[in-house]
Amino acid sequence: MTLLRVLLRYSRRYWAWIVAVFALQLISTMAALYLPSLNAEIIDDGVSTGDTALIWGLGGRMLLVCLVQVVTAVAAIWFGARTAMAIGRDLRRDLFDTVTAMSEQQVRLFGSPTLITRGTNDIQQVQMLALMTLNFMVSTPIMCIGGIVMALREDVGLSWLVWTSVPLLLVIVGFLVARLMPLFRTVQERIDGINGVLREQIIGIRVVRAFVREPHETRRFAEANRRLTDVSIRVGQLFVLMFPVIGMVLHLATAAVLWFGGQRVDAGVMQVGSLTAFLQYLLQILMAVMMGTFMAMMVPRAIVCAERVDEVLRVDPEQAEPETVREVPRTGVVEFRDVEFRYPGAERPVLSGISFRAVPGQTTAIVGSTGSGKTTLLGLIPRLMQASGGEVLVDGVPVADLARAQLAERVSLVTQRPYLFSGTIASNLRFGREDATDDELWHALTVAQAADFVREQPEGLERRVSQGGTNVSGGQRQRLCIARTLVARPDIYLFDDSFSALDVATDARLRKALAPELADATAIIVAQRISTVMGADQIIVLDDGHIVGQGTHDELLAANETYQQIVASQISAQEEA
């Protein structure tokens, strides 16, 4: 069972605390069980005979036992809570680590909404169950069995009340739990649903507004919301039944004990003290059964949640570190050997037969129509995805054999869709190298043509950046991302269409400033404009995932049909403009 496996695996580290919980609970439960019989003794031997000294003595002992019970119970809960929270924390950490080590496709296979629910809500459920288990696992059975034993010691004649009320309670609660179980899976799935709709709408809010799709989106959310509400109401209805039914059984049992016990006291076969003790024991037993069933009620939901969490933890992340990490000299050479890449489930490969070499001090440009596979090709170098065929080598080593940290210091990618993190401009720029000085940041900003923009901000480098970088313009974001890469100072720079949001003049200035920075580095540039790639040492022409041309601008212009077409289309577009 997944839940058990997960709980066992994660509680192993805290065995000392768990032992403490067990021991403390044992003491506390014993004390609780001892109290009613002491009470009975006071009534039968002290009150009925008027022995005040005995009453004082036994009363004092009761107080002491009570004290022990309270202290141990509190301590047990303290340790239990600590352990459960620690298990939750570890689960969350491992889930986070797994998700961050997943490749893009693996994340897409799950989808972000469900990964978020699993990392928060589902783990919360498992953690709650761990807490309940630790709080009641020991006390409930002991209370149950001990209570029965003690009750029988007080009076065997009334024992049939135990044998009837406990199964009655079990049957009723068991029936309700069995009906709840399937509903819980639906609840979790519908929480995913709400998360998904909400996330998409928040991220796509501008598009929604631009196309005046609010009514449609509102309906979509309302539908997801209604679906969650429906199933939650069904869960609630069953829960509502639970409490009155349990209450009824408890009260019926009390009445029955008093009724039948009273007759036995009348007949002189039972003492009053025993009757009160019996009643207390029966209530303790029923309470324990109730607690047990509450736990049983959480179990179905926790099972579902544990399975969902485990599903993520079991993924073998494609971004995982190689088994052995070795020192690799940094040469800055990138090589593709007959590389093929296929998105999972896709019929055709997006890239095939890709072979080329990019060396330090040179700029390699990649051109091709949209959808020809340029972004995919760049993504293979920092191992965002893994090639499905052939080999991608950095510094003469397959990228899969390099540790992520090794790759990160060698390769830096400016993505096509620039992304900044919430924080400040400075914190974003230091993303690739935390110890960069302010001077280095300003230098990178100057090269990236972003210094003026930052200087205009009253807070300068400390200007706040919101999640995703949505509070700066697209072009500013792109230039900040270029600056971030420059601060990191990798051996290999990858620019994915990074100059497209810039006007022609800024583009030219940026490339001029960039040239000395990249003099010793390997640069691979994806670009749309021929003017951007003209000066490159080699140009790779990509068409539908294949390399259809390779050479300098002049060579390609002379002999390559696809390249000639691209050039022609841009010249004619310019003339029209």
Ligand X SMILES: Nc1ncnc2c1ncn2[C@@H]1O[C@H](COP(=O)(O)OP(=O)(O)OP(=O)(O)O)[C@@H](O)[C@H]1O
Binding site for Mg ion (CB under 5 A): 375, 416
Which residues between 480 and 499 bind ligand X (CB under 6 A)? Answer: 497
Helix axes 272-313, 139-154, angle to 10 degrees: 160
* Region of 81-89, 136-144, 291-299, 372-380 interacting with ligand X (CB under 6 A): 372-380
Partner interacting with residue 430 (select from Mg ion, ligand X, none; CB below 5-8 Å by kind): none
Which residues between 317 and 356 bind ligand X (CB under 6 A)? Answer: 343, 346, 350
Identify the CA nearest to 340 among candidates 354, 330, 328. 354
Note the residue count of the chain.
577
Any residues with CB less than 8 A from the CB of 534 and at least 6 apart, and which?
Answer: 553
Tokens of 9: 């695996």
| Closer residue to ligand X, CB minimum distance, 122 or 497 | 497
Q: How far is the CB of 506 from ligand X (least distance, A)?
A: 20
| Closer residue to Mg ion, CB minimum distance, 155 or 496 | 496
Q: Which of 352, 376, 415, 485 binds ligand X (CB under 6 A)?
A: 376
Identify the CA nearest to 180 among candidates 292, 290, 301, 289. 301
Partner interacting with residue 350 (select from Mg ion, ligand X, none; CB below 5-8 Å by kind): ligand X
| Closer residue to ligand X, CB minimum distance, 273 or 368 | 368
Q: Which of 373, 418, 469, 549 binds ligand X (CB under 6 A)?
A: 373
Q: Which of 83, 117, 271, 372 binds ligand X (CB under 6 A)?
A: 372
| Closer residue to ligand X, CB minimum distance, 292 or 368 | 368
Ranges assigned E (strand) in 255-300 = none
| Closer residue to ligand X, CB minimum distance, 107 or 513 | 107
Partner interacting with residue 346 (select from Mg ion, ligand X, none; CB below 5-8 Å by kind): ligand X
Q: How far is CA 37 from CA 152, 162, 388, in A?
A: 12, 17, 74
Partner interacting with residue 343 (select from Mg ion, ligand X, none; CB below 5-8 Å by kind): ligand X
Helix axes 214-266, 272-313, angle to 10 degrees: 150
Residue 449: half-sphere exposure toward Cβ, Cα within 13 Å: 20
Q: Where is 533: in which H helix or E strand?
A: helix 530-533
CA Rg, the chain, in Å? 35
d(CA 435, CA 432): 9
* Region of 155-163, 307-315, 370-378, 401-409 interacting with ligand X (CB under 6 A): 370-378
One symbol per residue from 181 to 210: x for binding ligand X (CB under 6 A), - otherwise; what is it?
Answer: ------------------------------
Tokens of 200: 């998409």
| Closer residue to ligand X, CB minimum distance, 158 or 351 | 351
Tokens of 438: 């302010």
Q: How far is the CB of 174 from ligand X (least distance, A)?
A: 47
Contact 448, 479 (CB under 8 A): yes
Q: How far is the CB of 221 from Mg ion (least distance, A)?
A: 31
The alpha carbon of residue 344 and the mean position of all alpha carbons in its chain are separated, in whole angstroms, by 23
Tokens 């949001």 sit on residue: 501
* Region of 208-216, 286-294, 363-371, 548-556 interacting with ligand X (CB under 6 A): 363-371
Tokens of 429: 């720029």
Partner interacting with residue 372 (select from Mg ion, ligand X, none; CB below 5-8 Å by kind): ligand X
Identify the CA nearest to 158 among candidates 67, 276, 56, 315. 276
Q: Exposure of 577 by Cβ count < 10 A (0-12 exposed, 13-18 middle, 19+ buried)?
A: exposed
| Closer residue to ligand X, CB minimum distance, 346 or 559 | 346
* Region of 216-224, 238-246, 322-330, 367-375 interacting with ligand X (CB under 6 A): 367-375
Outline where 371-503 has alpha helix (H): 374-380, 404-410, 425-429, 438-447, 451-456, 474-488
559 binds ligand X (CB under 6 A): no
Which residues between 396 and 425 bind ligand X (CB under 6 A)? Answer: 416
| Closer residue to ligand X, CB minimum distance, 232 or 416 | 416
Count of residues that bind ligand X according to CB under 6 A: 13
Q: How far is the CB of 351 from ligand X (least distance, A)?
A: 8
| Closer residue to ligand X, CB minimum distance, 98 or 372 | 372
| Closer residue to ligand X, CB minimum distance, 8 or 109 | 109
Tokens of 557: 């212009």
Q: How far is the CB of 372 from ligand X (least distance, A)?
A: 4
139 binds ligand X (CB under 6 A): no
Nearest residue to Mg ion by CB is 375
Partner interacting with residue 370 (select from ligand X, Mg ion, none; CB below 5-8 Å by kind): ligand X
Q: How far is the CB of 538 from ligand X (least distance, A)?
A: 18
141 binds ligand X (CB under 6 A): no
Q: Exposure of 422 by Cβ count < 10 A (0-12 exposed, 13-18 middle, 19+ buried)?
A: middle
d(CA 536, CA 554): 11
Partner interacting with residue 371 (select from ligand X, Mg ion, none; CB below 5-8 Å by kind): ligand X
370 binds ligand X (CB under 6 A): yes
Contact 39, 280 (CB under 8 A): yes
Q: Which amino acid is at 443?
A: H
375 binds ligand X (CB under 6 A): yes
Any residues with CB less than 8 A from the CB of 507 and at least 6 apart, and which?
Answer: 499, 529, 531, 532
Q: What are phi and psi of 162, to 5 degrees?
A: -65, -45
Q: How far is the CB of 416 from ligand X (least distance, A)?
A: 6
25 binds ligand X (CB under 6 A): no
Q: Which residues bind ligand X (CB under 6 A)?
A: 343, 346, 350, 368, 370-376, 416, 497
